[in-house]
C-alpha cells in the first residue's frame, strides 16, 4: 500500500465519525431551542397556577421531548468528539477532561428534562391536576428552582468541556482554530459566572449568559464546521 492509499484510507475512515458528530451537535443545538418549558409568573394564586400548568401541558410535553432528544444527541456528540480527538493526536489529559465534563453536562440535560416532566407525571392521562391540593401545586415552583440552581452549577462542567475541546482544536486543528479561540472565551465566561453563586453582581450575571448562550453557539459552530469538513473530504471520482 502506497502513502497516497494510506492517506485516502485515513480520510475515508475519519469522514463518517466527523459527519456523525457534526449532525449530533446540530441536532442538539436545534433541540435545546425548544426545550424550555413554560414557566408561570411569580405571585400567582394556587388556582391560577393550576390553570396555567393544565393549559400548558402540550407545550411542556414538547419541551421535555426536545430535552430528551438534546440529551441523547449530546451524548453522541461527546462520543464522536472523543474519537476525533484521539485520531487527531490530542493530549490524553484533554481527552479525559472532555469525556468526564461532557458526561456531566449530559447529566445536566437529563436532570433538566426530568424536572420539566414532573407536571406531566402529575397530570397523568387525565390532563388535570385535580388529585393534588393547592399546597402541592404551589410547591411545583421548587422543582423549577432546582433546575435553575443545577444549571448555575453546571456552568463549571460546561466551561471545562468547552475549554478542553477548544484547547485540543487550537493544538491539533481537528476543526478551525478560530472556533477554539471562541470556545476559550466561552469557558472564561463560565468561570466568571460561578462567582455569582456567592456574590450577585452584574458582571457575574453577564458571565453566566456568555457561558450559557456561548456554549450553544459554540456547539453549533463546531457541529457545522465538522459537517463541512466531512463533506469536503469526500473522495472525488477521477
What pLDDT does residue 146 have?
Answer: 77
**Residue 76 falls inside a structural domain:** yes
Whole-number Å distance between alpha carbons of 224 and 26: 7
**Residue 77 falls inside a structural domain:** yes
**Residue 3 falls inside a structural domain:** no
What pLDDT does residue 150 have?
Answer: 80
**Residue 5 falls inside a structural domain:** no
In sequence order, which residues have a C-beta less than 8 Å from that of residue 229 and are 6 or more positions away? 18, 175
**Residue 222 falls inside a structural domain:** yes
**Residue 171 falls inside a structural domain:** yes
**Residue 2 falls inside a structural domain:** no
Provide the number of structural domains found in the chain: 1
pTM: predicted TM-score of the whole model, two decimal places: 0.85
Collapsing DSSP states into helix, strand and coil, what is residue 238?
Answer: coil
Report mean pLDDT in 10-residue bins for the chain, 238 residues.
Answer: 40 68 95 85 78 86 91 96 93 95 93 85 77 80 77 90 96 92 94 76 78 93 93 63
What pLDDT does residue 137 have?
Answer: 81
Whole-number Å distance between alpha carbons of 167 and 116: 34
What pLDDT does residue 15 have?
Answer: 61
Q: In 3D, which of 218, 228, 231 has the Cα closest to residue 180?
A: 218
**Residue 4 falls inside a structural domain:** no
What pLDDT does residue 235 have?
Answer: 57
What pLDDT does residue 65 have?
Answer: 92
What are phi and psi for residue 157, nearest 5 degrees? -75, -35
What pLDDT does residue 167 have?
Answer: 96
Domain range enclosing 205 = 10-37+45-232
What pLDDT does residue 68 have?
Answer: 92
Amino acid at each position: 500500500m502506497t502513502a497516497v492509499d494510506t492517506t485516502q484510507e485515513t480520510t475515508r475512515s475519519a469522514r463518517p465519525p466527523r459527519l456523525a458528530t457534526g449532525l449530533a451537535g446540530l441536532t442538539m443545538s436545534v433541540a435545546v431551542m425548544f426545550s424550555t418549558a413554560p414557566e408561570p409568573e411569580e405571585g400567582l394564586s394556587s388556582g391560577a397556577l393550576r390553570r396555567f400548568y393544565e393549559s400548558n401541558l402540550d407545550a411542556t410535553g414538547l419541551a421535555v421531548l426536545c430535552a430528551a432528544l438534546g440529551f441523547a444527541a449530546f451524548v453522541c456528540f461527546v462520543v464522536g468528539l472523543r474519537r476525533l480527538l484521539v485520531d487527531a493526536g490530542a493530549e490524553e489529559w484533554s481527552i479525559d477532561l472532555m469525556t468526564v465534563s461532557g458526561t456531566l453536562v449530559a447529566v445536566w440535560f437529563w436532570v433538566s428534562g426530568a424536572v420539566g416532566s414532573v407536571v406531566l407525571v402529575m397530570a397523568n392521562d387525565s390532563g388535570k391536576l385535580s388529585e393534588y391540593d393547592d399546597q402541592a401545586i404551589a410547591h411545583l415552583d421548587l422543582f423549577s428552582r432546582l433546575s435553575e440552581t443545577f444549571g448555575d452549577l453546571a456552568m463549571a462542567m460546561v466551561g471545562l468541556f468547552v475549554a478542553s475541546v477548544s484547547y485540543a482544536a487550537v493544538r491539533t486543528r481537528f476543526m478551525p482554530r478560530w472556533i477554539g479561540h471562541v470556545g476559550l472565551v466561552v469557558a472564561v465566561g463560565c468561570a466568571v459566572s460561578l462567582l455569582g453563586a456567592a456574590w450577585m453582581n452584574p458582571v457575574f450575571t453577564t458571565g453566566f449568559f456568555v457561558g450559557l448562550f456561548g456554549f450553544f453557539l459554540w456547539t453549533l459552530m463546531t457541529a457545522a464546521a465538522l459537517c463541512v469538513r466531512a463533506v469536503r473530504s469526500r473522495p472525488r471520482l477521477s
